[in-house]
Amino acid sequence: MRAFSGTQRAAAHRLIMAGLLTGAAFAPGIAFAADTPTPAAADAIAPTGGTTDIVVTAQRREQKLKDVGIAITVLDKETIHDLNITNATDVVRAIPSLRFNAYASSQVVFNIRGVSMTSYGDEQEPPIAVYQDDSYSSSMSTAGFPIFDLARTEALRGPQGTLFGRNATGGAVQFISAQPKDITEGYLSLTYGRYNETIAEGAISGQLAKNFDVRVSGLYDRDDGYIKDIIPGTKNRGANNHWALRGIFKWTPSTDFSAKLTLRYTEADHERQGAMYTFSPSCPNAQLQGVNLGPNQVCNYWSAYNGGTPGAMGTGFNGLVNGQNVNVLTGGSPWKIAATGDPGVDRQFFGATYRMDAKLGMFDLTSITDYQYTNKFYNELGDSQPEFPYVQGATYTPGPCPGIATITCYAPGTIFNQKFKSNQFSEEVHASTSFGKNYLVFGAFAMSIESHFHAQYATPFDQYDPQVDFYQRTRSVAVFAQDEYKFDDQFKLILGARYWHDNKLGCYNGAEYWTGFTIHYCPDSVGYNDPTGNTQATGNAVTATGKDADQNYSGLTARAELDYKPSTATLIYASYNRGSKSGGFSFSTGTPTPGQAVLDTLNGIAFRPEVLDDYEIGLKATLPMHSSLNLAAYYYNYHNYQAFAQVGYVQEIRNLPAKARGIEAEFMTVPIPGLTLKLNAAWESSDVPNVLLPDGVTVVTHDLPQAPHWSGGAFVHYEFETSAGIASVQADALAQSHMCFTLLCAPVEEERGYTIENARIGFSPKGTNLDLAVYVNNIFNRAYRNYAYDGSLYSGATQSVFARPRTWGINARVHF
C-alpha cells in the first residue's frame, strides 16, 4: 500500500473530527435512537407467507419494498453470490434498464433509462449517482470497483432529487456492505476460472469489546486477460489485477445510540485494461462519421497516409500479421489483437465514512461525514496495431519492429493517457419525525471536491501531439425536506423539495507540440496563442471571459406523489419527480485544430445545468402462489440535456432538449418450494432533436445513448435436497435490441441486438459449511461490445471494446 502524504492524513483527520463535533452537538443529556439502516437499504429480509418482504429505506425510513412508490430493484446477498457478481458493472445482468459504458475498469458510467454521460473526461459527474454505503462516488474513475461482502445492491430508477445526498437526474445505484455483528462469523471464498482467473474473498466479523463490533473483509482478483495479443513477447489485455480491503467499526453503547466508521482501500497495480480495442478500420463518410471498411475498400480520407492500401487505417495497418487476421470486420476474432506497448491502469482509492445516529426529543438524527482520495493513471499505447515506441517529435517509417524482425511496425496511431488526483469531502445531517398523520424528513448536505488532471490525446503518425493540464474545484450545498401525509389506510400524499447551490471553478491549459499552439481558460483570463496564424484569420471573436471559468449554479428539485392502496397486497402510485444536475466545464483531452475550432472550443467549454421532469405511474402487487408484479410507466421531459459530442479533437457538452417514454415490468414467483423465477422487460422510445453531426451542417434527431427500444432478462434458480446434500441449478439471460453508444450515433457506434446466457450448478454437502459451484458465463460465446467510439477522423479506426467471451469457473465457499 502506498503511503499517504501528510496533507492527506490531515484531511482524513479533519473529516473524522468534523463528524465527531457534529455528533457532539446531539449529546448532552439527550436520549438517543438506535442505529438506523443506511440510506440505501436495511439488511433484513423477513419471511411472509412463503415469500419475502424486502425492507428498504429509500425514503429515509424502514419500509417494505412493495409499499414504496419508486421503481426499485434489489439484489440480495444470495443473488449477488449466485450470479458471481465481483465488480460493480456486473449488476446490469439483473436490473431492468440499467447499462454501463466503459473502455477500462477506471472509466465506468452507468446508464438508466438512457440517462447517462458518455463523455470520457474525468472531470464530469455522472447523472447516475453511485453509492458505496453512505459514500457518494463523484467521478467515473470511482464508479467501477470490486464487489465483495455485500448485504445487497439497490437500483433506484428515475430522478432522485429530494432526499439523496447528491442530485441525480437518472437514478441511483447503491452497494450496501454486510454489517458487523456481536457474534463471531465469517466466510472464505476461492474462485478459479478461464484465463487463470483467481479470486480470493473473505470476511470476519465479531465483537472486540462490549458494544464494539467489527467486520473486516477483502478481495484479491487477477487473471491473464481475455484479449489475446499475437505479437511475440506481449501480454494479453483485459486482465484484472486489483485488491481491496474494507473495515467497519460499530460502537453501540446503548440501544439509543450508535456510531460507525467505515474505512475502504482499493488498489490496481498496472491492471492491463488499457487499449483493449479490437482492430476495426473505419472511414469518415459525407457527414464525417465512421463507417466500417470492407476487405477491398480504400479510405480516400486517409489515402495520403496509407498509400491506398485496401482496408487500411490511417497508419497503413490492415490487420494481417504473419498470416493471422485480427481485423474483426474481415473474419478476425473480436478477442484477438496485434499490438505492442504495455498499456494499463494504476489506481489507488481510500475512503473514510463516519456515521452517527441519535435521538433528540421527537427527532431521529443522522450525521454522515465522508472523505475520499483517488489517484489514477490510465495509459493507452499500442492502438490495436504493431507500433514503434512513442517518442515525442519523432517521425516514423513502416519497418521491422524492434526486436521482432518478422513483424512490421507502424507509426503510433493514438497515444492517450489520463492522470487524475482528487480529494472529496462531504457532510450530511438529516432528521426525521412523526407527528399526527405526517412523517417528515429534512436536512442539509455540503460537499467539496478538488481535483487535478493531466491528459494527452495524440496521433503521432500525422504530427498532432498535445498535452493538457487542468484543475477543477466544486463547492456544493443543499437543503431538503419531504413529508408523507397519510389520509387513511388507502391514500397517502408525499411532497418534497430540495434547493441546491454549486460553485465550480476551473482552470485549463493546453499546448500542441508541432504547431506551438497554446490555449488558456481560467478565471484570470481566456485566450490562445496560434503561431500558425490560422485562428486570427477567421475574424470571429472569443466571447468567453474569465468569469465563465468561475460559475455559480442553483436549482430547485421537487417530488409529488399520491399512493393508493386498495388492499394490503396492492400499491398504485402516481408521481412527479424533478431531478437536476449541475452545470460545469468540458475540458478536452486534446487541443483544437487552429482555426474556427479554437474559438468554438473556448466559447463552448462551459455548459448549463440539466433538468429532468419525470411523470410516472406504477403498480406493485403481491399475487397468489407467492408471486409479485411491479409495473412502471414514465415520461421524461429534459431541459438542457447535457449531450456529449466529439468535435474534431475536442470533447464538448451541448445543452439540448430531449424526451423519453417507457414501460418496465418485473415479475417474481416461487411456484413450488425451492424454485424461483424472475422475469423483467422494458420498452423505451426517446428522441433528442437538434443533434449537429461532425460535418457542422447536418442536423438530426437521435435516441438517447444506450437506450434500446426493447430489453429484458430472466433468472431461474431451483434448489433441491439430495441424500448427499443440497443441490441447485440456475440459469439467467439478458437480451436487448439495437442501440447506439453515443448521441452522435455514427454507423460504427451502432450495436445490433444480442442475448447473453449464463448457467450455474451448486452443491452443499450435508453436514458441512461448504458451498461448491461451477459456472459458465456467455455460454454461446456472443460477441457484443461494452464500448464503441468513432475514431475514424483521428486514426482511421473504431475503438471497440468487446465484452468477455465464454468464461467458466469453479467456486468453493466456506462459512464459519
Question: Greater confidence, 539 or 459?
Answer: 459
| CA-closest candidate to residue 369, choices 181, 154, 136, 173 | 136
* Residue pair 787/775 in contact by the 8 Å Cβ criterion: no
Over range 431-437, report the average pLDDT: 94
Which residues, in sequence order, are CB contacts of 266 under 8 Å at separation 6+?
Answer: 145, 146, 242, 243, 244, 245, 347, 348, 349
- Torsion of Cα atoms, 62 then 64 then 67 then 73, to 10°: 110
Which residues, in sequence order, are CB contacts of 31 under 8 Å at separation 6+?
Answer: 256, 359
Residue located via cell numbers 391514500: 491
Q: DSSP string covering 681-729, please?
A: EEEEEEEEEEEE-TTSS-EEEEPPTT--SEEEEEEEEEEEEETTEEEEE
Give the per-residue pLDDT at 453.
96
Task: Tell me the pLDDT tens digit for each residue of 284-340.
Answer: 999 999 999 888 788 888 887 776 776 677 888 888 898 899 999 999 999 999 999
Helices (H), 584-642: 596-603
Give, in order, the Cα–Cα distances in Å from 511 to each of 334, 455, 514, 648, 778: 36, 11, 9, 16, 45
**First CA to last CA across the chain, in angstroms?**
29
Task: Tell me the pLDDT tens digit for each residue of 739-765.
Answer: 999 999 999 999 999 999 999 999 999
For residue 602, what pLDDT band results from cuts at 50, 70 and 90?
Answer: very high
Residue 687: burial class (beta carbons within 10 Å; 0-12, 13-18, 19+): middle
For residue 394, what pLDDT band results from cuts at 50, 70 and 90?
Answer: very high
Does an H or E element contain 812, and which? strand 807-815
Beta bridge partners of 556: 499
Residue 384 confidence (pLDDT) above 60: yes
Give the per-residue pLDDT at 383.
77
Residue 538 confidence (pLDDT) above 70: no
Which residues, in sequence order, are CB contacts of 391 under 8 Å at separation 6+?
Answer: none
What burial letters (b/e) apply to 443-458, b meaning 16+ CB within 10 Å? bebebebbbebbbbbb
Pull the grid cell for residue 272. 492491463
| CA-closest candidate to residue 199, choices 208, 188, 186 | 188
Is beta strand 197-209 parallel, antiparallel or unpaired with respect to 135-137? Answer: unpaired
Beta bridge partners of 426: 370, 447
* Residue pair 598/604 in contact by the 8 Å Cβ criterion: no
* Residue pair 197/185 in contact by the 8 Å Cβ criterion: no
Cα 339 from Cα 382, distance rounded (Å): 5
Residue 701: burial class (beta carbons within 10 Å; 0-12, 13-18, 19+): exposed
Q: For the whole model, what pTM was predicted?
A: 0.89
Over range 115-125, report the average pLDDT: 87
Q: Which amino acid is at 354?
A: Y
Cα 763 from Cα 721, distance rounded (Å): 10
For residue 5, what pLDDT band results from cuts at 50, 70 and 90?
Answer: very low
Give, in order, the Cα–Cα distances in Å from 395 to each of 403, 460, 462, 590: 19, 8, 9, 20
